Structure 1
Amino acid sequence: MHRSESATATASAPSPGQSAAAAGPLSATAGRGVLEGAFALLNALDQEQDVGVSALAAVCGLPKTTAYRLLDQLTELGAVERSAGRYRIGPGMFRLGQGWQPYPGLRSAARRPLRRLTAVTGMTAELAVLHRGQTLVLDWTTTADVPRPLPDDRPVWPWYTAAGKVLAAWARPGAAPGPLPRAWPDEAGRIRESGAAYDHEEVLTGVCCAAVPVYAADGVPVAALSVLTGPDHRLERLADTARRAASAITAGLGRRP
Structure 2
Amino acid sequence: MVTKKIVEDNNNGLPAERDVTGPRSLTRLLGLFDVLSMSPDGMSLAELNVTLESPKSSLLNLLRPLVAEGYLIHSAGQYRLGPSIFRLAASVMSAWNFPRMIRPFMEELCQRTGETVLLGVLNRDAEVLTYVEIIDSPHPVRYQIPVGTTRPLYASSAGRLLLAYTEKRWRDAYLSSVQFKVRTAIPVTRASLSRELDRIRAEGVSTSVDNYMVGLAAVAAPVFDGDGNCVASLNIAGPSDRFRNELDQLKAVVKEVAAKASGVVAGIEARAA
After TM superposition, the score normalised by the length of structure 1 is: 0.63
- Alignment equivalent of 2:251, drawn from 207, 216, 239: 239
Q: Is structure 2 residue 148 aligned with structure 1 residue 149? A: no
- Displacement of 1:247 in angstroms is 1.6
- Alignment equivalent of 1:117, drawn from 78, 86, 109: 109
**Sequence identity (%):** 20
- Alignment equivalent of 2:121, drawn from 121, 126, 129: 129
Aligned length: 199
Query: 2: distance between equivalents of 1:174 and 1:241?
Result: 31
Q: Which runs of 5+ in 2 are unaligned?
A: 9-14, 37-56, 66-83, 179-188, 269-273
Q: Which runs of 5+ in 1 are unaligned?
A: 16-22, 44-57, 68-87
Q: Which residue of 2 aligns with 1:61?
A: 60
1:129-148 CA distance string (max 9 Å, x none): 12121011011102334454
> Contact between 1:210 and 1:236, CA under 8 Å: does it hold in 2?
no
- Displacement of 1:204 in angstroms is 2.8
Query: Which residue type is aligned with residue 111 of structure 1?
Result: R
- Alignment equivalent of 1:251, drawn from 263, 266, 269: 263
> Contact between 2:222 and 2:233, CA under 8 Å: does it hold in 1?
yes
Query: 1: distance between equivalents of 2:98 and 2:147?
Result: 21
Query: 1:231 and 1:254, CA in 2 relative to 1: closer, same or farther beyond 3 A?
Result: same
- Output aligned runs, 1:210-249, within 5 Å: 210-232=219-241, 233-234=243-244, 235-249=247-261
Q: Which residue of 2 aligns with 1:168?
A: 163
> Contact between 2:153 and 2:160, CA under 8 Å: does it hold in 1?
yes
Query: Which residue type is aligned with residue 92 of structure 2?
Result: L
Query: 2: distance between equivalents of 1:157 and 1:214?
Result: 19
Root-mean-square deviation (CA), in Å? Answer: 4.0
- Displacement of 1:13 in angstroms is 9.2
Would you identify which runs of 4 or more consecutive aligned residues in structure 1 move more than 4 Å? Answer: 12-15, 23-26, 28-33, 38-41, 92-95, 151-154
